[in-house]
């Protein structure tokens, strides 16, 4: 999803300029003093592919590739065999390093600037072109990336993290990537004039970032927080490109220089953007300077020479593209999984696989509008909706009902099960009556006097143009008509919807969130005034619990705080939570290496970097 930026954040006041210099608030001590006093503790530095390979080596092999390719995924055993045989990494020389993968995304990028990252498409694409020091494996355990870092140490008091970078990492324009790029990026992220949607959450818990030399960077924390390990993980900008432009145009998008960079950004990751046709496709090309520096091989080549992202918003069109071999993978909608990918025609070129994933979907209510400011109204919406019909008839029994923001079974959800809402029209009507939404003029539509005028309860419900999502919104529309409320379902293009949500220019919408690596990452969805708090939700107890949660180092006690947050949100219903969507993917039979995590097959490390195609025999 996309994130909003309040117009006030664009002001170029002296106060904003002062806060744009976070390092000025403290004097970093000499490195010699830090090394003497910090009592450094070594932290893991790992190669993500090596970690996955080791994990896979301990898993039983349930079938051969040939056997898996003959299977139809119609049982748990077949699914397990497909994942076991086709999800494995290649042996040496087995992968076709000249191959191209054609991936599917449902919407275009809002930006190619890595610190403006927000939507799932941006995470997919910019995760391949961006530079980073840290990552996490499919169990969500963090580590420093061995491809970019030599060492990572944390002080015994938890107030400092020190990283020594490799000296063989370069930007796509040939300039070296240094610690100064990281310190510079922190300054840009922390400037309130810059419309950073997601990555400021966490970085704002740091006192500063200082480059002691080209390779040594130290992250200074305000407090020894449980979340410090995540706060230091942010995307990096090339200082030599942006240091002369960003203060003149803190939007990072509007100036001629930044417009040019949007089209052809300087890449720090294994891929760079080769071409882009807006609304159609984005093609990435493997960077030779990623694996070869000064005619020397310094790291393993990525498995694909080119990655083409096909932008296809309609899932039915995407499925036709998968069946014809035009794309190699896609998320399957419930009807596609159960009825449209079961015959020989589909299995001629493709297979499919499923696994648990922490992705939830909801109706979001804009509390800043007169319709949804009262939580009794929001509860009424949740009671009005026919959840069972959605799960059975639209989701076809594939998805589990959702009652809150943390996945059941995750450590942060707590032991208390929050019962998902079920339709109860009597309760819905009673709550609306209590909130003053009654039919004063007997025209069949509820209304209320607001600021001296009668306002009918009629609102617009935004949704992107996927038929599955439109069907869910249409069901809500039908349900609400039964109790005198009019919901006008308004399908819009993905990037347009993101922009409207950023500006809070909506009344209600259908949307979803994937899980973060830590529950604290959702603070910017729920804390008062935060960037991704599209609904305008505000609860002082929730704000306090998030602050306490990051300060608590004991995981069990942290879990109690996040469980309480979930209970409060359940009571307040800023969202009507609908369902948890597991991973359901269609894959070309030519594709190998897909391994799933709670964040799906891609949003961890190595993620999409484990995908490969075998050499032709």
pLDDT at residue 330, rounded to an integer: 98
CATH of the domain at 473: 3.10.105.10
Q: Label residue 221 exposed, middle or buried (CB < 10 Å: 0-12, 13-18, 19+).
A: buried
CATH of the domain at 600: 3.40.190.10
pLDDT at residue 160, rounded to an integer: 97
Residue 210 parent element (H or E): strand 206-211
Q: Round to whole Å and give the CA distance between 308 and 63.
A: 31
Higher pLDDT, 201 or 14: 201
Q: For the segment 483-494, what is each residue's pLDDT rounded down to a tens digit?
A: 999 999 999 998
pLDDT at residue 517, rounded to an integer: 85
Q: How many domains, in total, are found in the chain?
A: 2
CB 103 within 8 A of CB 85: no
Assigned domain for 176 exists: yes
Q: For the segment 23-34, what is each residue's pLDDT rounded down to a tens digit?
A: 456 789 999 999
Residue 431 parent element (H or E): helix 425-434
Write out the DSSP string of 471-519. HHHHHHHHHHHTTT-EEEEEEE-HHHHHHHHHTT--SEEEEEEE--SSG
Assigned domain for 319 exists: no
Residue 14 scores a pLDDT above 80: no
Assigned domain for 27 exists: yes
Same domain for 235 and 379: no
Same domain for 397 and 288: no
Q: Which residue has the tokens 């664009």?
A: 10
Residue 564 scores a pLDDT above 60: yes
CB 467 within 8 A of CB 477: no
Same domain for 88 and 176: yes
Same domain for 186 and 281: yes
pLDDT at residue 120, rounded to an integer: 79
Q: For the segment 131-177, what is each residue's pLDDT rounded down to a tens digit?
A: 999 999 988 999 999 999 999 999 999 999 999 999 999 999 999 99
pLDDT at residue 16, rounded to an integer: 34
Same domain for 156 and 132: yes
Same domain for 284 and 369: no
Q: Which residues face 512 on adjacent strands?
A: 361
Q: Round to whole Å and give the CA distance between 296 and 204.
A: 39
Assigned domain for 323 exists: no
Q: State phi, psi for 127 to the nearest 5 degrees.
A: -65, -20
Same domain for 294 and 363: no
Same domain for 505 and 551: yes
pLDDT at residue 31, rounded to an integer: 97
Same domain for 538 and 589: no
Q: Label residue 159 exposed, middle or buried (CB < 10 Å: 0-12, 13-18, 19+).
A: middle
Residue 15 scores a pLDDT above 60: no
Q: Which residue has the tokens 């140490």?
A: 153
Assigned domain for 327 exists: no
Extract the tokens encoding 398: 């594939």
Domain holding 172, by residue range, is 7-308+584-610
Extract the tokens encoding 126: 């910019």
- Crossing angle for the helix pair 375-384 and 467-481, nearest 10 degrees? 110
Q: Which residue has the tokens 């589909």?
A: 346
Name the 3-class secondary structure at 33. Answer: helix
Q: State phi, psi for 209 to the nearest 5 degrees.
A: -130, 130
For the chain, percent of residues with pLDDT exceeding 90: 87
pLDDT at residue 197, rounded to an integer: 73
Assigned domain for 105 exists: yes
Same domain for 480 and 537: yes
Same domain for 590 and 482: no
Q: What is the mean pLDDT of residues 575-594?
A: 97
Residue 405 scores a pLDDT above 60: yes
Q: What is the mean pLDDT of residues 72-96?
A: 97
Q: For the segment 30-58, what is each residue's pLDDT rounded down to a tens digit?
A: 999 999 999 999 999 999 999 999 999 99
- The DSSP output letter for 407 is -
Q: Look at residues 219, 202, 181 and name the one whose alpha carbon lies nearest to residue 26.
A: 219
């Amino acid at each position: 999803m996309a994130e909003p930026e309040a117009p006030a954040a664009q002001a170029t006041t002296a106060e904003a300029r002062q806060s744009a210099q976070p390092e000025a608030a403290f004097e970093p001590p000499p490195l010699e003093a830090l090394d003497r006093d910090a009592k450094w503790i070594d932290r893991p530095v790992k190669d993500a592919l090596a970690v996955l390979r080791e994990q896979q080596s301990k898993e039983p092999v349930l079938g051969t590739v040939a056997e898996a390719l003959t299977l139809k995924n119609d049982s748990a055993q077949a699914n397990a065999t497909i994942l076991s045989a086709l999800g494995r990494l290649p042996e040496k020389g087995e992968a076709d390093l000249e191959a191209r993968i054609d991936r599917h995304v449902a919407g275009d990028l809002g930006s190619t600037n890595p610190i403006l990252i927000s939507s799932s498409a941006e995470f997919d694409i910019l995760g391949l072109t961006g530079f980073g020091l840290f990552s996490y494996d499919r169990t969500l355990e963090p580590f420093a990336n061995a491809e970019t870092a030599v060492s990572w140490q944390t002080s015994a008091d938890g107030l400092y993290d020190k990283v020594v970078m490799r000296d063989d990492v370069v930007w796509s324009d040939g300039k070296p990537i240094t610690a100064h790029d990281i310190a510079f990026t922190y300054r840009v992220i922390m400037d309130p004039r810059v419309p950073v949607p997601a990555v400021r959450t966490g970085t704002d818990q740091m006192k500063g970032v200082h480059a002691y030399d080209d390779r040594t960077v130290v992250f200074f924390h305000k407090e020894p927080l449980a979340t410090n390990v995540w706060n230091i993980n942010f995307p990096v900008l090339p200082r030599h490109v942006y240091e002369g432009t960003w203060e003149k145009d803190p939007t990072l998008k509007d100036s001629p220089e930044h417009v040019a960079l949007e089209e052809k950004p300087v890449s720090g990751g294994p891929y760079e953007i080769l071409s882009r046709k807006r609304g159609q496709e984005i093609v990435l090309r493997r960077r030779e300077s990623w694996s070869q520096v000064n005619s020397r091989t310094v790291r393993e080549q990525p498995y694909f020479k080119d990655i083409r992202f096909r932008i296809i918003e309609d899932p039915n069109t995407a499925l036709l593209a998968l069946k014809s071999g035009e794309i190699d993978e896609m998320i399957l909608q419930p009807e596609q999984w159960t009825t449209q990918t079961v015959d020989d025609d589909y299995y001629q070129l493709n297979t499919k696989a499923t696994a648990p994933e922490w992705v939830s979907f909801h109706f979001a209510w804009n509390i800043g509008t007169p319709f949804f400011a009262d939580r009794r109204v929001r509860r009424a919406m949740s009671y009005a909706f026919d959840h069972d019909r959605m799960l059975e008839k639209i989701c076809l029994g594939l998805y589990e009902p959702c009652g809150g923001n943390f996945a059941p079974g995750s450590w942060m959800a707590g032991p208390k099960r929050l019962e998902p809402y079920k339709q109860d029209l009597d309760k819905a009507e009673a709550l609306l009556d209590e909130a003053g939404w009654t039919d004063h003029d007997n025209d069949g539509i509820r209304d209320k006097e607001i600021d001296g005028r009668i306002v009918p309860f009629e609102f617009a419900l935004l949704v992107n143009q996927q038929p599955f999502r439109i069907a869910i919104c249409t069901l809500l529309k039908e349900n609400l008509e039964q109790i005198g409320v009019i919901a006008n379902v308004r399908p819009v293009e993905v990037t347009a919807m993101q922009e409207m949500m950023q500006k809070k220019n909506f009344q209600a919408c259908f949307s979803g969130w994937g899980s973060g690596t830590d529950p604290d990452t959702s603070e910017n969805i729920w804390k008062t005034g935060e960037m991704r708090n599209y609904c305008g939700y505000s609860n002082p107890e929730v704000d306090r619990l998030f602050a306490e949660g990051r300060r608590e180092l004991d995981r069990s006690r942290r879990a109690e705080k996040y469980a309480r947050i979930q209970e409060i949100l359940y009571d307040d219903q800023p969202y009507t939570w609908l369902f948890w969507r597991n991973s359901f993917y269609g894959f070309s039979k030519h594709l190998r290496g897909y391994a799933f995590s709670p964040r799906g097959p891609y949003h961890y490390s190595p993620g999409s970097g484990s995908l490969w195609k075998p050499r032709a025999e």
